[in-house]
Structure 1
Amino acid sequence: MADLLKHWTPLSVAFLVLSILGLVGTWTFNVFAIVQMVDFLGDLVSSGPAVSSITVDLLVVAVAGSIFILVEGRRQGMRHAWLYVVLSGLTAFAFTFPLFLAMRERKRTGARSARANA
């Protein structure tokens, strides 16, 4: 059990909780859209200026965050960091980005622990 909880800091747990909230929150509305047979992509761009503004805002953040995931993942030596970007298209960036941040924090905590024990 100790190995399972190893390197989970309060910050990494907070990111994990945000990740779960992002997954549940986005997929709740995705299920509503599917059940109601809503034109999901059409709604994003044609439901008025406010929705279009939020869409562009989140799209730019998702692209910037994806670049950050790829660069920081490589910098931290995180294998398969690109999967977070791919999975964001299947789940939600609100899920994968905080999940990446949680795993990054665990990786950094493990590296600090290894240096301290060396």
Structure 2
Amino acid sequence: MVSLLVHASLGLASIAWIIASNPRIYARPAGGPWLAPLECVYYLAGVASIALGWYFNIRFVLDAHGQGSLVSGPGSYPNFLRLQFANPAAGSGNQDYLIANVVLLPVFTIVDGYRRGLRRPWLFFVASFFTSFAFPFAFYFATIERQRRHQRTGGEPGAEVGSGGPPADPLAVRHEI
């Protein structure tokens, strides 16, 4: 159970770091509500994905009855990975998940994030290791919606990276970590 508490703490820390890195984006848009209905939909989907994922993660750890550790035994991370491919049906779903989480999520959020002027967009990928796979997507989509609302009211919070807004080619420029 300690590993789950560590994961929860790291998940909250990564979310807090994203928000702290982009205070203008997460500020209340001028003349509008704190959260728009579409942002609420994204956040609710993200929170639901965490709740459902954690339900199954906690059951996995409790089913091990305290046997083993994080690296060995029935409740271990290697066993968790092995069970993801325990049969063809599980393997089919998990290969899709792994490609989406390890390739598509970071490429999309990092490239698109830098184009939009987000600082440290790679943290959305980091958050996926400690929250759920769907949560960073939902959080990122809510962030895009929040940024759109700011731009609609003239706030332009997207130009936070560097002095002239996002670079033309986000992969050709080093960004602060």
Shorter chain as denominator, the TM-score bin is 0.7 to 0.9
CA RMSD of aligned residues (A): 2.1
Structure 1 unaligned segments of length 5 or more: list them: none
Q: Who is 1:72 aligned against?
A: 112
CA distance in 2, matches of 1:7, 1:67: 29
The equivalences for 1:33-112 within 5 A come to 33-37=60-64, 38=75, 39-45=79-85, 47-62=86-101, 63-112=103-152
Structure 2 unaligned segments of length 5 or more: list them: 1-27, 65-74, 157-177
1:104 Cα deviation after fit: 1.6
TM-score (norm 1): 0.84
Please identify which structure carries the higher helix content: 1
Where 2:120 maps in the other structure, the secondary structure is coil
Equivalent residue letter for 1:10: P
Asked which structure has the greater CA Rg, the reply is 2
CA distance in 2, matches of 1:13, 1:75: 24
1:7 Cα deviation after fit: 5.7
1:57 Cα deviation after fit: 1.1
- Higher relative contact order structure (alpha carbons within 8 Å, sequence separation ≥ 6): 1
Offset from partner CA, 1:59-105 (integer Å, 9 cap, x none): 12222122111111111111121111111112211211111111121
The equivalences for 1:9-20 within 5 A come to 9-20=36-47
Structure 1's consecutive aligned runs of 4 or more residues displaced over 6 angstroms after TM superposition are none
Equivalent residue letter for 1:22: S
TM-score (norm 2): 0.58
